Amino acid sequence: MERQLDEVIIALVGKYTALEDAYASVLKALTHAALFCNRKLKVLFIHATDLEANTQKDDPVKYHEAWQQLCSAHGVLVPGGFGSRGIEGKIAAIEWARTQSKPFLGICLGLQCAVIEFARHVLQYKDANSSEFDKCEHQVVIEMPEHNPGIMGATMRLGRRTTHFVTDDSIVRKLYGDMDSIDERHRHRYEVNPKYIEVFEKAGMKFVGRSDDNERMEILELENHPYFVGVQYHPEYISRPLKPSAPYLGLIWAACGELKNVLTHVTKQQSPTDITIKSPSPFSHANLFRHT
């Protein structure tokens, strides 16, 4: 007999939504996490440009339908990508998630858009942007300094890299099993500008995971928010059905309203892998925090 599972709705805000296969690894990671939480996953594919002011002017029906979908979701995911198209729509979606306390996960470019949004609307750097899109005064996202600007070939930071947690007070650290460091796969050319980190952190955006040299910001979390997380790497690449990606699992749990309960149980255990909570609780799997 097929089980009747509660539904969790995630809005995926991207620029390639007409071709769902473009997000195949992201969808699988969401599916792994939802199954682990005993939830039925529903993904709303929202084209980022449909959330922008130009669409409101040119096609108000499409604009309002996109915003209606976004507002109906339990959580928001902004995945990776390249290029300027749809950036303002992604930033608008992130601002909504931040101000409405809606669970949010940003992957790669999604993290960078979260940084830009925070810089514009919290730090009041109205022109804040990435050097990929605009040569503005406040370039809060820049091309990695060892690369030659404008040269696209063989300039990406690729492959497995180590991220070190720089604080014990981190939701993502707990989701990874309270480890000192993790290894995840990367695929990016731009990064958060390190000269702005101090002002970001004073305003409540904490960069809790960093590279070996402490210069590259790998994980951000927002204070006083149920789940507002950005990661520079691509955790979906190593997600598996029986070992879902920690950031995706956090998003699903938060979207289900269970994350606080989960983390409370974790802190009471000697080891996160010792959790033994009876079904039908969606966080009853003993080994869900194991990450190798």
Radius of gyration for the alpha carbons in the chain, expressed in angstroms and rounded: 18
Catalytic residue among 47, 236, 256, 285: 236
Q: Which residues contact 264 (CB under 8 A, 6 or more apart)?
A: none
Quote the CA–CA distance of 33 and 241 in Å, as a whole number.
8
Is 108 an annotated catalytic residue?
yes
The single-letter DSSP state of residue 274 is G
Distances (CA, A) of 102 to 9, 10, 107, 150: 12, 11, 16, 36
Examine the residue annotation and report whether 234 is marked as an active-site residue of this protein.
Answer: yes
Distances from the Cα of 23 to the Cα of 80, 94, 250, angstroms = 9, 19, 19
Kindly provide the b/e burial profile for residues 133-155, where b requires at least 16 CB atoms within 10 angstroms of the residue's own CB: beeeebbbbbbeeebeeeeeeee
d(CA 109, CA 281): 34
Of the residues 32, 47, 186, 234, only one is catalytic, namely 234
The catalytic residue among 108, 143, 191, 256 is: 108
Residues marked as catalytic = 108, 234, 236
